[in-house]
Amino acid sequence: MLRADRGNQTMFKKLLAMLPLLLAVSCASLLYRERPRISVVDLRLTNATLFEQNYLVVLRIQNPNTADIPIIGLQYELELNDQFFASGVANQPVTVPGLGSAVIEVETTSTLLSIFNQLSALQQETGQDLSYRLKGKIHLANLSSLPFNYSGTISLGSLGPPPPR
């Protein structure tokens, strides 16, 4: 009977040790009842080599909740016209105010293969808009994360020219 008590005490200690993590995750879901909305504001080519292209992507993060969202970073994938285009990570902290928005600039990288796929798709398209899908995770200061998955369109006329060298 003494062994059963020790086993229960050990289990209780393990559960107690996990309590802060469980509270952090549950508090994030209570504070942020609605997921933040993320949209692409701009996409600019910054550097290109034969095998890799670098872009500056400007994102708008809208917070529909009343609590501020303290972001420490994000990871994402960008699809254009339903095809994988580029991915990236960003570690720039930003706090999105409650019922407000913030704009951040992130770098992303694509490969030669994704460029060929996009050129092939563009030859078949007749419109002046690109559809996009942005998905990933926002990493919060309390070590939890909020997933996102949003779609929209980018007007081909709005793409900025490359910066001067």
The answer on 128 and 54 residing in a single domain is yes
pLDDT in tens, 106-141: 999 998 888 777 777 666 666 667 788 999 999 998
Among the listed residues 39, 65, 63, 35, the one whose alpha carbon sits nearest the alpha carbon of residue 144: 35
The CATH number linked to 67 is: 2.60.40.1820
Asked if 38 and 105 sit in the same domain, the reply is yes
> Which residues constitute the domain of residue 57?
34-158
pLDDT digits (tens, 9 = 90+) for 41-91: 888 999 999 889 999 999 999 999 999 999 999 999 999 888 898 999 999
Q: Output the pTM of the full model.
A: 0.70
Task: Please indicate, yes or no, if residue 163 is contained in any of the structural domains.
Answer: no
pLDDT given for residue 55 in this prediction: 92
